[in-house]
């Protein structure tokens, strides 16, 4: 038995309701009566065999089936836009938008390098979204992001439909404000008991640094855990504690002498990965960056 044909008008109405947050606002945007729109939504739910919204506290909220349907709807309409761009060759004359996700822990200088390279390829607009890896991976799989910069490849359970490439490996330094410079003489033993502003526990770098300390029988005083490297550097520059970070992550503060290098953690490396999702129609800038973008030690 053939599957019933998907009514794309119904799909568009459903997506508009979800994006607008309710039938009243969606009806106004679509220039339809609320009873008409409610009927169209009910017909769509009946066709799918799932309730897509539930009402809580006088507001509509997506059900689990509704969230799944919205992800597919976003992808379908985005693919439609890309098809029109590709067939009309508008990409050759207009700016191409590339959506890049970046973990908070990825140094901002690296994100800047990617934006600069995107600009050299084509007339483009780079849109940067920062956040945690679980959020960014969801956005990447939903095709709301073209690329993602990360400190690690996607977890095994999350890697389906994704491609990852290692684009750089950098030595990890211990940096601190001027009063800590005396610790450079007996490094790394001098780090014992010193205050540290560490990456959060989910960070791969955190595990690597702690393993180094265990191997050298060094116990440090973790006074703060910070995910964002920019905040981590500011806390260190204030004199509160030491930080493990790469040269690329701290270069501007070293030049300004706000921070100083005490030493390098031998064998500890920070990796930078570039991740892309499988796409039927590739963003040309994202595709080029995925093939050619490479970072080099400072």
Phi–psi pair at 192, nearest 5 degrees: -60, 130
Kindly state the greatest CA–CA separation across the chain. 79
CB distance 160 to 240 below 8 Å: no
Share of the chain above pLDDT 90, in %: 39
Per-residue model confidence as pLDDT tens digits over 279-293: 766 778 888 899 998
pTM across the whole model: 0.66
CA dihedral 113, 119, 122, 123 (to 10 degrees): 160
- What residue spans in the chain does CATH classification 3.40.190.10 cover? 96-168+272-292, 170-269
- In CATH, what number does 96-168+272-292 get? 3.40.190.10
Q: Is 196 helix (H, G, I), strand (E, B) or coil?
A: strand
Fold of 8-77: Arc Repressor Mutant, subunit A (1.10.10)
Per-residue model confidence as pLDDT tens digits over 163-180: 999 999 999 999 999 999
Per-residue model confidence as pLDDT tens digits over 183-211: 999 999 999 999 999 998 878 889 999 99
* Mean pLDDT for the chain overall: 87
Looking at per-residue pLDDT, the higher value among 19 and 4 belongs to 19
Per-residue model confidence as pLDDT tens digits over 65-89: 998 888 888 888 877 776 776 666 5
**Which pLDDT belongs to residue 297?**
64
Cα 4 to Cα 8, 41, 45, 144, distances in angstroms: 12, 16, 13, 28
Distance (Å, rounded) from C-alpha 5 to C-alpha 47?
Answer: 9
Cα 75 to Cα 10, 69, 78, 143, distances in angstroms: 16, 10, 5, 6
| Chain center to CA of 56 | 31
Query: Is the predicted pLDDT of residue 114 greater than 70, yes or no?
Result: yes
Name the pairing type of β-strands 59-62 and 147-150: unpaired
**Which pLDDT belongs to residue 121?**
78
Distance (Å, rounded) from C-alpha 173 to C-alpha 265?
Answer: 6
In this prediction, residue 237 has a pLDDT band, given cuts at 50, 70 and 90, of very high
Per-residue model confidence as pLDDT tens digits over 146-157: 999 998 888 877
In this prediction, residue 94 has a pLDDT band, given cuts at 50, 70 and 90, of low
Query: Is the predicted pLDDT of residue 219 greater than 60, yes or no?
Result: yes
Residue 166: its H or E element: strand 162-176
CATH match for 170-269 among 3.90.1150.150, 3.40.190.10, 2.60.120.10, 3.40.50.1980: 3.40.190.10
- What residue spans in the chain does CATH classification 1.10.10.10 cover? 8-77
């Amino acid at each position: 038995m053939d599957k019933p044909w998907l009514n794309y008008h119904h799909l568009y109405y459903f997506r508009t309701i979800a994006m607008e947050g309710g039938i009243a606002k969606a009806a106004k945007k679509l220039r339809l009566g609320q009873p008409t729109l409610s009927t169209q939504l009910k017909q769509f739910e009946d066709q799918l065999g799932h309730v897509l919204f539930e009402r809580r506290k006088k507001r509509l909220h997506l059900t689990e089936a509704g969230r799944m349907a919205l992800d597919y709807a976003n992808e379908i309409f985005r693919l439609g836009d890309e098809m029109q761009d590709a067939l009309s060759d508008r990409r050759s004359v207009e700016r191409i938008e590339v959506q890049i996700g970046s973990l908070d822990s990825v140094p901002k200088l690296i994100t800047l390098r990617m934006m600069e390279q995107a600009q050299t390829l084509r007339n483009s607009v780079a849109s940067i979204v920062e956040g945690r890896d679980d959020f960014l991976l969801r956005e990447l799989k939903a095709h709301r992001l073209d690329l993602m910069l990360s400190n690690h490849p996607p977890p095994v359970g999350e890697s389906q439909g994704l491609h990852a490439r290692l684009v750089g490996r950098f030595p990890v330094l211990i940096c601190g404000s001027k009063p800590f410079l005396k610790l450079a003489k007996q490094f790394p033993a001098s780090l014992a008991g010193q205050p540290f502003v560490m990456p959060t526990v989910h960070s791969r770098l955190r595990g690597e640094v702690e393993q180094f300390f265990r191997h050298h029988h060094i116990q440090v005083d973790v006074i703060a855990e910070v995910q964002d490297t920019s905040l981590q550097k500011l806390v260190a520059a204030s004199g509160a504690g030491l930080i493990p970070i790469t040269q690329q992550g701290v270069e501007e503060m070293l030049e300004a002498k706000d921070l100083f290098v005490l030493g390098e953690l031998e064998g500890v490396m920070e990796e930078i990965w570039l991740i892309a999702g499988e796409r039927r129609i590739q963003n040309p800038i994202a595709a080029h960056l995925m093939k050619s973008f490479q970072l080099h030690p400072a």
